[in-house]
Amino acid sequence: MIKLKDLLPEAIAHTQKSLQWVYHGYIPMTPKVMKQIMGDTPINAFHNVDWLSAKKQVPKIIGKKKSISTFTADTKGNLAMGSGVQTMGGIVLQVKGKVLVAGTEDLGSVPDEAGRRWLSTDALGKIIGMPQFKGEGGSQKFKKELYKIDRKLEDMLFKYKTSLLVMPSDSDKDKKRFPEFTGKQKAELIKRWIDASNKFLLKNKKIIKKSFWKNVNNPKITTFMSKYGYNELLVYDTQVIDAYLVIDILGNQNDYEKTERNLKQAKDGIKPFVKGKIYQGFASGVKKFIKQRGGKV
């Protein structure tokens, strides 16, 4: 169970982000709870990083409870050519870690400032086969499940949402009727939401474990949430095994010396964190790199 004191000392620095996902009815997926559901489920996967920022970004994903987005299958070929999802990419990492969430396409997962990952009820409902949580009404149905677990949660969430409607120009009567939420109240709301969500996930342990294991052992691509053509697995306690530098992305066809400098910069940036080997080649070789390490492209 998350403790209230874990949220308070932050001076509510993380509250706004976390509270945003509570407001929208998202589900927190934490390593502590998923370990109870999945055990220490190791997985071999792939993660593309922007070569320009790899030196700063790679250390942040090594051995952390904070999860990263990985893939094991790609049918469209963008990731399997070394490109990033929201960056230029340029480095493909073979990583090993533990499964937090295993999906069959882009999950649309969102982080908060504390490092937790949150899923929409629609995404989780589709992954684990709970149609009642799909679509626009799914969030409300999920909230009702949480209200059964924590009877104070509904009233707290209602008061928080109504407090947001009051403007500085409103009358004192309205301000008194819908008082602004204090930092302590916000922290308690987050705590209660996470605790209730964790109990819901543990209550549905069997169906979640079965669905995630299926996606780990027999990855396939679906398109009910996106058309990107790859599966997404959130992985934590990550270690980098091998790396592949993509010359097409790092290089300049008209400047050999610049290409060499970029390759050296990228290699030097990740070398301390790679347990195995660092390869380099053209984008056409990425698929072979992935296939040889168990991926599907």
**Rounded-to-integer distance, Cα 157 and Cα 144, Å:** 12
Residues 177-230: tens digit of each pLDDT: 778 888 899 999 999 999 999 999 999 999 999 888 887 877 766 555 555 667
How many C-beta atoms surround the C-beta of residue 137 within 10 A? 12
When pLDDT is cut at 50, 70 and 90, the band that residue 290 belongs to is: very high
Residue with tokens 């976390």: 18
Residues 3-47: tens digit of each pLDDT: 444 443 333 333 458 899 999 999 999 888 988 998 887 889 999
- DSSP 8-state code for residue 37: H
pLDDT value for 3: 46
- Cα dihedral 183, 189, 191, 194 in deg (nearest 10): -140
From residue 63, give the alpha-carbon distance in Å to each of 39, 209, 277: 17, 23, 19
